[in-house]
Chain A
Amino acid sequence: MSDDHDIAEAFEELPLEKLPLDAWHRARGARMVPFAGYEMPIQYAGEHGGIVAEHNWTRTNAGLFDVSHMGQLLLSGPDLDSAVEAVLPIDLSTLRLGQQRYSLLLDEEGGVLDDLMVSRWPDALFLVVNGATKWDDIGKLREALPDDITLHHMDEHALLALQGPKAADALARHATGEYPLSALTFMKLGRFQIAGHDVTIARAGYTGEDGFEISLPAEAAAEVAELLCGEPEVQPIGLGARDSLRLEAGLPLYGHDLSPDTSPIEAGLIFGINKRRRTEGGFPGADRIIREINEGTARKWVGLKIDGRMPAREGAEVFAGADSIGTVTSGGFSPTLGAPIAMAYVATAHSAPGTALEIEVRGKRLAATVSPMPFVPHRYYRGN
């Protein structure tokens, strides 16, 4: 027996670092695997442990994820907005204090180098970038931004995500600030205190559920994690369920669904190219992006629901009859639907929802249907 598609394989050659919560995870029986250059928990032991149990717990209660491998960057300096707009296809004139927005780091050809979150802090922009790409991102940003823009890598900070329909109830018992936690709606953030520690809480996440991402000093991470997991609604959740949850939520994973070989327009991420920038341009890859917005793309990123129980994994070929028309970029088993689901780039002619296709897995053809994403409806909190 051997794992042949382990998500960690790309990183196993590098020396591994430990995250601030390493000992805390191990004490909770986590199985640690190499990911993005760190040892990270893929799943936990115990009654509520295991990928499916952790997945279902997050969909019904609240799950605590350690995502401290992600890069937290703080940008500040003169003419910050115009400097950042030269690098990202974002419209910062509409990003107000306390708002968060999805954006993309593109190369000169419009390929995706990373996807990220940008938030407005007082006199600064706060970026959260992917763990596996953060060092390249820092290099790219440092190279592209003027010298008088300060880029601070907040590597003394941890990042925890609390996700699920009961996340707000559990977190509200501990987060205090100038205004109640309930004042935050989806994609808003603010300063709070938890157990006396200054934290920044954003109402966002990567599961499709209501939830929060908490940026906090590394030395406070274990205390806060322990406090939150002391709430009856909260269990720790590993990377395995994080992947199955984001798959159901139709959210792309960088390095799999997005790469320098894909454009954000192919991936349906036009919302990451803010409206003003679609006509003005002035960001890396703008020529291609604007052309694709106007003329369309030859392929599109779609969801696929698969008949039967056999999952299709990344790399599987997609067919329309005898013709190879695409490739799976992510795939697995959806615990919520009880069926396999996948994401794939397919020829635009075969990308309409309801289109019947086939996926080849180990010489067999699996019947699949193009499905709108998310596969499981989002339940973000947008206010009453």
Chain B
Amino acid sequence: MKPLASDRAFLILLAAVLAVALLLVISIATPFGLSAYLANVIGQLAAFAVLALSLDLIWGYLGILSLGHGLFFGIGGYVVAMHLLKHSHEVTGKVPDFMQFMGWAEFPFYWTGFGFFPYALLVTAVVTLLISGVFGYVSFRSRVGGVYFAITTQALVYVAMLLMFRNDTGFGGNNGMTGFTVVFGWPIGGSRVVIAMAAVSVLMLGLTLLGCRMLLAGRFGMLMIAARDDEVRLRTLGYETLRLKLVVWCLSALIAALAGMLYVPQVGIINPRLLAPELSLEIAVWVAIGGRGHLVGAMIGAVLVNAVKFWLSVAAPELWPFILSGLIVLVVLVFPNGLVDLAKLKLVRPTGLKHMASGTPELR
């Protein structure tokens, strides 16, 4: 991978992201700048972009497709929701809805301590690492890969969704959790707070971009690409691919959880729909459309697809599914490396027998 300093595209994108963050910060303090509504949309898009980056890390650069990243996104989201509810309860005394209709007088025991944000952060990290670690270790050790791995992750996120739909698991069930009133002591509805949260999202996006890029620029990045291209050869050369894959997998899961923590306070509700298998599939679609194997591509894909989805849900709701499916087919057939291919105008004749005319070889 090119050294960071000479990668012009990436630097420009990073600059753009930081510019937006700056604009948001200005909007907090002064009446100029973006409206709270627009800031909120930007913030949500930023969270989705972080999520796309996490998937791109393992899929684009390591060659492992996970169709269950919604699980880690959901973990981050649920933990932050629990924190917000507990915190709101401590500050305002408001009892969460799900406790009311379940008839519970107190929080279940596993809710203790969530009012304290660092604890919540710790729990996120621990739970994410535990689940991704165990699952990744067992899978990679058995050399489960490719399509099998993808399907198993879909089943995993489906199981999580089913569990979360049950009201008696104590996480709000189908209703999910909503009614967040306070975040870090400030009222969550206030326009200043909304813009501030969006600014934080965008800043985290910038940091994640930078962090991923630095990871990939070094030796670690080269190992990842080597493992993607030909894992057997890498193993023959004496490298321990299991440890490599596990580390990147866990890192990717953590980033996805971070995205969840950014997303939920801005949208004001979490419920098991976030864990739907279709949503996890959509993440792969964002990355594929934007450009798998390019950090820039993943981010642009996420932002673009979700922006169009927001717009069409109001403007022309009937059209959205057709447009999405058309886009996916187009990308898969004609621009296999997503919009980055379009940008370079590297189209491919869909004959199926030709290898793709780009630097990235066939991904199985």
Do A and B come from the same complex? no
Interface residues of A (CB under 8 A from B): none
Interface residues of B (CB under 8 A from A): none
